Chains A and B, each alone.
Chain A
Amino acid sequence: MPEGTMNSAILEMKNITKQFPRVLANHDISITLKKGEILGLLGENGAGKSTLMNVLYGLYKPTSGEIILEGEKQEFHSPRDAIRVGLGMVHQHFMLVETLTVTENIILGNEPGRGGLIDYKEARKEVKALSEKYHLEVDPDAKIESISVGLQQRVEILKALYRQAKVLILDEPTAVLTPQEVDELFEVIQELRKSGVSIIIITHKLEEIKEIADRVYILRRGELVGERLTKDVTQADLANLMVGRDVVLTVTKEAKKITAEPIFIIENLVIKNEKGINAVDGLSLTVRPGEVVGIAGVDGNGQTELAHAVRGIQEVNSGRILFKDEEITHYSTKKMIQNKMGFVPADRQRYGLILPMRISENIVIGYHDREPYVRGINLNLPKISQDSEVLVKNFDIRTPSVDIPAGNLSGGNQQKVILAREFSRNPEFLLVSQPTRGLDVGAIEYIHSQILAMRDKNVAILLISLELEEIFSLSDRILVLYEGKIVKEFDPEKTNDKEVGYYMTGGEKEGAAV
């Protein structure tokens, strides 16, 4: 908890207002960061927290308001100015050059040496010293592409420290990490605080705020709605402040006994990726009607290949996929759609939606070549609009019209467009991958309840998610995916995230298969 040194403010943002065309992203926000403090910035997506931090980091110029660092008024024209006075930011998406080494990435833009020459020896030494000083162990000679996401994040933090950051801003730092990596990150953050760095964490995850932050500001719709000491506040209070109404933190699913025979079966599936390695390596599973089977796993263990194979957009090397006693392993996507198999892809902007096309077109796609949406070769545009409007209403997609491009919608509403399309077609099987990635609490709650509604309609659902919490709150059975295989099956009632996380990272790899 706070030490004696942290009474003086190191950073103040006073009355910050940021007006974008049509949108007031920040309205009169004042926050203070004390020296050596871990400050949380909590809010839903679109609440304005990233805008506020981008103002602080010099990416945006505020419409009005001022930034005071160590008693001096600052004016940032670009991140360069912010970095120079001691601000560092680790973005949600890392800004690293994959093919360069850790050292090269850290010194990039600030290379030691004279003239055009870089003193690599010196650089390596500095990086090494830095990582020892802050206990951020990382191999200075490793290539970025060969290290894990958690280590990449350390490199980002080291990069900021190398530039002598006194204030470190972390934007959604845990979004890409496994539970174990989150724990390690939090240790690192504590370590940094001890050596005098002040830290701001942007997040929409309540339990993280509770765990790591000393104090938290809550933003909603561009306004500051509260400031709390985390020791005095409950997660439920924070959620209510953040959303502005009472939220159900985890959807409650009714326990039910599923006795039906499996409708969807995968047997010994093998899929080679582009490098010729078995991304999916002898995977078997079953899903019964009315059951949600959750696949937990760290990203890159075959989730994408599995999902794409089930949609018919990825070649299968061996093994079988069965649906309703019919082998569908090599069916075309079109046939999968005809078989009433729905698909919610993990990368919704790449595989789910055609962003420049209209919402109505995105809703009809897949069914655009069948009655009643087409007559002969002519699209039945009035019918397409009419049905889309009904779905927009039913799925609470917030848009003025179905004729605007899907790309104009927020992430949550984009995902609802996909749900509207896939869930309205009376599916018998659904593959749902990462349904709430990057979405805010309100949208997550809605999407989870929709998925459970489909479960109660007796749909067989295969859920792939990197969020353990999601897996736990939706699944009837949990399968752990590691290196292309199911290594363990759990009953969600009889396990916990630590145990699942252990298997996700390769614990008891051998002999643990179901």
Chain B
Amino acid sequence: MTAQKLKPLFLTIIIILAVAGLVLYLASVFYGLFFILAAVIVFYLYKRMITDKATAREEMRAALKKLSIPGIGILAAIVIGAIIMLFTGYNPLQAYRALFYGGFVKNWHVSILNASPLIFTGLSVAFAFNAGLFNIGAEGQYYVGAMVATFLGIKLGLPPVLAIIIIFLVTGSVAAAYNYIPALLKVKTGAHEVITTMMFAHIARYLSSVFIRGMGGDPNTSAHAYVTDPILESNWLPRFKQFIPSANYRLHTGILIGIATALFVYYLLFYTKWGFEIRAVGQNKDAARAQGISVGKNIFRALLFAGFLAGLSGFNEVLGLNHKLFENLQANYGWNGISVALLASNHPIGVIFTSILWGALNAGGQYMARTEQIPNSIVEIIKGIILFLIVARYIYSYIGNRIKKRRKLKHPAETSGEAAT
């Protein structure tokens, strides 16, 4: 088949177009979007070559349908937000113009900076969810990661790329190890990971205060009272400005690492035997066990890898953005990670987009507050409503599943019909 032979060529074209478009777009060079669109079109053409027209269209439609669910939630939240603003005496049109202009155009780089740590914590929560676990302690693993990254960033004088790779791996590994005890307790005693990881999150949070004072910088030269020494400049993550001059100088490549990590998690979950086992355990541990899959082993793997991912958000913040660790007991990356994971239905690729959305709403909200004097809290309200609608969807699908199950028990005609006819 010629189509099969052309596969590497097509994939190369798609990857080059997508990566180029993505990098440009993320650096506020908005015509990058055309490259992304081109990549999608090439992908569609390729799909049509290897399958027939109807299947390709069907798959596209299925993908769009999947997107429509969160899309409707977001749209509904925007409408409800507008109603709230009308009642409280603000002009919603003005507010939304500022919100979207600020979030997606003017301060797009801020949105991206906001999004990059969320991708990691979001992936962490989403990954654990796939194993049926709720890694509510991602916040704590972020603090652990941030501390390790700061420590190594200050101490590790190696050639730049090598150092960054080492810090990446060690940061993640230590954060993973931080989930060892909760995982052990879960497997051995059944202690719920929600409780244990949450408690561990508190420990890590307050440990960071101690750590910062131990690694202390000079309070006189810093605007911030408690802050560590800065990390070595050789350990900074590369910045977009180094290859795209028009990019904002603060914009670092953490977002690209985040996206690459998301792709890796996607691959791990859906294309490897490990991901297969984790999903099997997450969806039905009894059936998984009856097919020889060890539930305990997979809980261990999942919680440790979730810790690894959440720790990377600390890596991202320290090496990319701040280059030191401030005392900040309200980082909230872990909690927001839960939100973006939920919003993405725990799909690793979805997490990229929901993180950016969250980041953009925050950035846009600040811009709106500054230019239009509309309180930033409206953005929090909108975020709350979006989440509520998404969670409501879970409630809905939970009820739906129960009804389906009940129907299936009693009269399979309605449910089996879809598949059987």
Residues of A that sit less than 8 Å from B by CB: 20, 22-23, 25, 45-51, 54, 91-93, 171, 221-222, 311-313, 332-337, 343, 345, 350-357, 361, 365-366, 368-369, 374, 377-379, 381, 398-400, 404, 407-411, 413, 438
Contacts and interface: CB of A to CB of B under 8 A. Distances in A.
B291 A337 contact: yes
Nearest to B270: A379
A222 B274 CA distance: 44
Contacts of A400: 419
B415 interface: yes
B289 interface: yes
B291 A333 contact: yes
Closest 10 CB pairs of A and B: A410-B416, A334-B292, A50-B411, A23-B417, A366-B291, A46-B413, A333-B292, A50-B410, A20-B414, A354-B284
A352 B290 contact: yes
A356 B283 contact: yes
Contacts of A171: 410
Given A25-B411, A51-B411, A336-B292, A410 B419 contact: yes
A343 B411 contact: no
Given A46-B416, A336-B292, A411 B272 contact: no
Contacts of B409: 92-93, 438
Contacts of B415: 408, 410
B166 interface: no
B271 A355 contact: no
A405 B415 CA distance: 12
Given A46-B411, A343-B290, 16 more contacts: A20-B413, A23-B418, A46-B413, A222-B413, A333-B292, A361-B280, A365-B280, A365-B291, A366-B292, A377-B274, A379-B273, A398-B419, A399-B419, A407-B404, A408-B415, A410-B408
Contact of A46 (B279, B280, B412): B412
Interface of B: 271-274, 276-277, 279-280, 283-284, 286-293, 404, 408-421
Contacts of B286: 313, 350-351
Contacts of A49: 411
Contact of A51 (B276, B413, B419): B413
8 contacts: A23-B413, A23-B421, A51-B414, A332-B292, A365-B276, A365-B293, A366-B292, A409-B420
Nearest to A370: B273
B408 A411 contact: yes
Given A404-B419, A410-B416, A337 B283 contact: no
B246 to A, nearest CB: 40
Contacts of B413: 20, 23, 25, 46-48, 51, 221-222
A381 B419 contact: no
Contacts of B414: 20, 23, 25, 51
B419 A413 contact: yes
B287 A313 contact: no
Contact of B419 (A45, A313, A408): A408
A351 B419 CA distance: 22
Contacts of A398: 419-421
Given A171-B410, A352-B290, A409 B416 contact: yes
Nearest to A366: B291
Contacts of A357: 279-280, 283
A361 B274 CA distance: 13
A411 B274 contact: no
B410 A351 contact: no
Contact of B273 (A20, A93, A356, A369): A369
A23 B413 CA distance: 7
A76 B174 CA distance: 62
Contacts of B410: 50, 54, 91-92, 171
Contacts of A221: 413
Contacts of B284: 350, 353-356
A22 B272 contact: no
Contacts of B412: 45-46, 410-411
A413 B418 CA distance: 12
A368 B416 contact: no
A20 B416 CA distance: 12
Given A313-B290, A357-B283, A379-B273, A45 B411 contact: yes
Contacts of A404: 419
Contacts of B271: 378-379, 381
B419 to A, nearest CB: 4
Given A51-B413, A92-B410, A377 B288 contact: no
A311 B290 contact: yes
Interface centre among B277, B283, B286, B419 (most CB of A within 10 A): B419
B277 A368 contact: yes
Contact of B416 (A93, A336, A413, A438): A413
A410 B404 CA distance: 11
A361 B418 CA distance: 19
Nearest to B281: A354
A268 to B, nearest CB: 25
Contact of B272 (A312, A334, A379): A379
A385 to B, nearest CB: 13
A409 B272 contact: no
B272 A377 contact: yes
Given A354-B283, A368-B276, A22 B417 contact: yes
Contacts of A46: 411-413, 416-417, 420
A93 B291 CA distance: 28
A69 to B, nearest CB: 22
A43 B283 CA distance: 33
Output the residue of B271, B272, B291, B421 with the most chain A CB within 10 A: B291
A311 B290 CA distance: 7
A308 to B, nearest CB: 8
A331 B391 CA distance: 42
Given A54-B410, A333-B292, A353 B417 contact: no
B358 to A, nearest CB: 27
Contacts of B417: 20, 22-23, 46
Contact of A374 (B273, B288, B420): B273
Nearest to B292: A334
Contacts of B290: 311, 313, 333, 343, 345, 351-352
Nearest to A45: B412
Contacts of B421: 23, 398
Contacts of A23: 413-414, 417-418, 421
Contacts of A377: 272-274
A379 B279 CA distance: 14
A351 B287 contact: yes
Given A47-B413, A368-B276, A353 B419 contact: no
Nearest to A384: B276
Contacts of A381: 271
A409 B280 contact: no
Contacts of B276: 361, 365, 368, 379
Contacts of A365: 276, 280, 287-288, 291, 293
Contacts of B288: 354, 365
Contacts of B291: 333, 337, 365-366
Nearest to A365: B291
B135 to A, nearest CB: 20
A200 B234 CA distance: 82
Contacts of B277: 368-369
A268 B369 CA distance: 77
B268 to A, nearest CB: 9
B363 to A, nearest CB: 36
A408 B418 contact: yes
A22 B417 CA distance: 8
B397 to A, nearest CB: 11
Contacts of B411: 25, 45-46, 48-51, 54
A366 B416 CA distance: 26
A54 B276 CA distance: 39
Nearest to A347: B286
Given A368-B276, A379-B271, A333 B289 contact: yes
A410 B420 contact: yes
Contact of A350 (B274, B287, B408, B420): B287
